[in-house]
Structure 1
Amino acid sequence: MEIRRLPADEAAVRRYVEELWLPYHRHLEATVDAHALADDIDLVAEETEFRLDLLETESHRTWIAVDGTDSDGSRGGLDGELAGFVATDVDESPVVFDRPDRLVVGDIYVRGPYRGRGIARELLSRAAKRARETGCSELTLDVDADNEHARSVYETLGFETRRRQMTVAAEEL
């Protein structure tokens, strides 16, 4: 298993969206309250375009866990089996706040057949390396309150709850 950076290449990003991003969000849609995908757009095309733009920024990185070698026998592309991913962004602290810069884990996912093999730990270790490279002293992430499995994994890895995010419909206030 290798952790490789997702290149800003349309074919690679489309494959990532189809094989990892969309199944991850379909899983969340089925298991987490208030997580729904739009049903009146081409999700793959829209997300591919969005990710390509994001990959061009300096603060964003996505890494893919790839199982196997590429079709040319090398281990540099994304031709192997895609096992999981982690997407991150640098969150620089404004100087008026006494807090460190953070690396935000926006999404992390490991496909079912690959769970229990330490891949989430490998992906988060790669994110931690990026944090150190960019001067961020913390990793942070949001987890859905009813995603007990994910919360358990993160707690096992040392993440602690520091804040709670709350929402209300605007018309209710």
Structure 2
Amino acid sequence: MPSREGKRVFYGSVEVTPKNMNQPLRQVLLIPDLSFESYWTTLAVEPEEVINLYHEHGTCEQYHSELKTDLDLERFPSGKFATNDLILHLGCFTYNLLRLIGQESRKKNDAPVKKKVFRRRVKTVIQNLITLASKMVRHARKHYLKFGNNSPWFLTFKRVYTAFLC
């Protein structure tokens, strides 16, 4: 039976003697749906650990994607290595701060979201907490941020702000 290019078909046979029969019968096998995964590694760990690390690779790719797209670090602004090095370090620092804010914002259910999430994307943190509408007010030689009366993210912002005060 011809198969298409790049496809392999495996055949096999087994001799089986059914009950109530004296003579063995030959059973021919065709195995069309064979699944096989191969992981090449230099790590000296158990096979299960290699598989777990490989499957967690997708999560790492999500973080990498956030750094590139949400913080707009896909292309560096300069042709000079030192400048791009500084931009990348500042971007990583910013990314880690935004991740901390996102994790802190999840600790209580005061955020106006429909379902509980495992983590908040950096873009969501920027949209909901960093660019929260407010205005700077100066009164009695002090500066204040004034928020609207109906700001749905205000309670979360206040709690996160308070958590990071020293």
Q: How high is the TM-score relative to the length of structure 1?
A: 0.24
Query: Which fold has the larger relative contact order, with Cα–Cα distance below 8 Å and residues 6 or more apart in sequence?
Result: 1
Of structures 1 and 2, the larger Rg is shown by 2
Query: Would you tell me which structure has more strand in proportion to its own residues?
Result: 1
